[in-house]
Amino acid sequence: MISDRSYTGLILESGHLNRVHYGLAMAAAALAISQPVVLFFTNAALLSLRAPDPDGRPGWATCPLGPDLVTAGVVGDATGWNAGLVARGAAGVEDLIEACRDLGARFMVCDMGLRAIGLEKTALRDDLSFEEGGLVSLYRILGDTGRLVVI
């Protein structure tokens, strides 16, 4: 997506699925109003982008829920939590990933984050175009007028 507007950069660092979900929701909302977005996945959040397993279960389905949800009494695994979101009329994780892709988000995977968790880029899903880079690459995209949010 080409725009005269500055990018919003969202750093997704946590592997807790509810945090990844909210970062994707923020990105989709910004994209819906023509705000360019770069999603920068690093550390445990990269696990949400793994390719589906042999049974077709997406990588994000193996991510844990955050301890705040557990403390609040929300129980279940990622798949059950995601199904509950969809049943209550909210966008699910896969819906948000697809919306971000279709609306032109840039998906970046952090070189250092991949190394930190021992994950190869080839282990990531193949339906998204990933840019590799680091924080310097992200800051170059954002320039002097971009915004940065850490999720």
Please report, for the chain, the start and end positions of each structural domain, with discontinuous segments joined by +: 8-150
pLDDT tens digits along 51-100: 999 999 999 999 999 998 878 887 778 999 999 999 999 999 999 999 99
Q: Which CATH number fits domain 8-150: 3.30.465.10, 2.30.31.70, 3.40.50.300, 3.40.1260.10?
A: 3.40.1260.10
Residue 105: which of 4, 5, 6, 8 has the closest Cα? 8
d(CA 62, CA 121): 18
d(CA 69, CA 88): 17
pLDDT tens digits along 110-144: 999 999 999 999 999 999 999 999 999 999 999 99
Report residue 11: phi and psi, to 5°: -90, 115
d(CA 29, CA 65): 22
In this structure, what is the dihedral angle of CA atoms 101, 99, 19, 53, given to the nearest 10 degrees?
Answer: -70
Report residue 146: phi and psi, to 5°: -75, 160
**Side by side, which strands form the sheet with 106-110?**
130-133, 106-110, 37-41, 8-12, 147-150
The whole model's pTM is what? 0.94
